[in-house]
Amino acid sequence: MVVLGVDSATADAVVGVMNGNDIVREVRVDPGEDGRPRHSQVLLGEIESCVNAAGGWERIDRIAVGVGPGSFTGLRIGIATVRGLAQARRIPVAAVSTLSSLARGITSSPDGRGRLALPVIDARRGEAFAALVDEGGTELWPPFVAPPEDLADRLGELDRPPLAAGDGALGFAAVLEAAGATVAPPEDSIHRVAARHVCSVGAVADEASPDQIQPLYLRPPDAKRWLERDRGVPGG
């Protein structure tokens, strides 16, 4: 199966294509010099480059798209792009949790083999998006959002320490390590989403039609909270 993978939930834009277990092409585009993500500028071009490397759209069997949790703007750009391409090309789509892709990177790394994986993404507002995945890829904790202290409480219930990675793991390293988790070294590549892992997770995920692909936000966007606050809605 030839799978095209796309994820724009974090500051990086990642695109790649795999033929079975072979990586045909993958790329990660960092934020610009101003620190802002470049999803809207680079995504379509990088997708076309990956598709051409695979031999054209007729070779693509499935598109795997990261659905978050992560940046609201990034998710909208990535999912809308994939929906449009899948509808135009009549290609099946598979939704992939961004945390699942991070977890695949953890469990396939030398230090992560045989260990629980704790992918953690910085959710801003002093919170983290997280999940827990075992060494076989089974999701033990579905994706959730919580302050790092609440995540630490959950870690105290585990019978063995997980390996944590992601920008949230780095940002909350002191809290996580105090709770028993091992945080990968800052220079380790498993802290960032890789297109190859989006592809590999997407290759075994359930297929869906483009209109069924929805972002995994886990909480309302800031704009909605501000609107509710201005209207006097409790909790807004």
DSSP string, 58-96: GG--EEEEE--SS-HHHHHHHHHHHHHHHHHHT--EEEE
Q: Do domains 2-98+193-231 and 100-191 have the same CATH topology?
A: yes
Distance, CA of 142 to CA of 211 (rounded, Å):
23
Bridge partners, residue 5, by sequence: 16, 64
Question: What percentage of the chain has pLDDT greater than the value 90?
Answer: 92
Residue 46 scores a pLDDT above 50: yes
Tell me how far apart the alpha carbons of residues 181 and 157 are, in angstroms, rounded to a whole number.
12
Task: For domain 100-191, give the CATH number.
Answer: 3.30.420.40
Average pLDDT, the chain: 94
Cα gap 226→233, rounded to integer Å:
10
Instruction: Please tell me the distance from the alpha carbon of residue 60 to that of residue 1, in angstroms, as a whole number.
Output: 8
- pLDDT at position 227 is 46
Q: What is the per-residue pLDDT across 1-42, written as a single tens digit (0 to 9) for each?
A: 999 999 999 999 999 999 999 999 999 999 999 999 999 999
The confidence score (pLDDT) of residue 223 equals 46
- Which amino acid makes up residue 45? G
Segment 123-131 mean pLDDT:
97
pTM of the model: 0.92
- Whether pLDDT at 155 is above 50: yes
Give the per-residue pLDDT at 220.
80
pLDDT at 154: 97
Q: What is the mean pLDDT of residues 62-86?
A: 97
Q: What's the CA angle centered on 108, arms 103 and 114, to 5 degrees?
A: 90
pLDDT of residue 226: 45
> Would you state the CATH architecture of domain 2-98+193-231?
2-Layer Sandwich (3.30)
- Indicate the domain borders of the chain: 2-98+193-231, 100-191
> What percent of the chain clears pLDDT 70, i.e. is strictly above it?
93
More confident: 236 or 221: 221
123: amino acid identity, one letter? A
Which pLDDT value is given to residue 54?
98
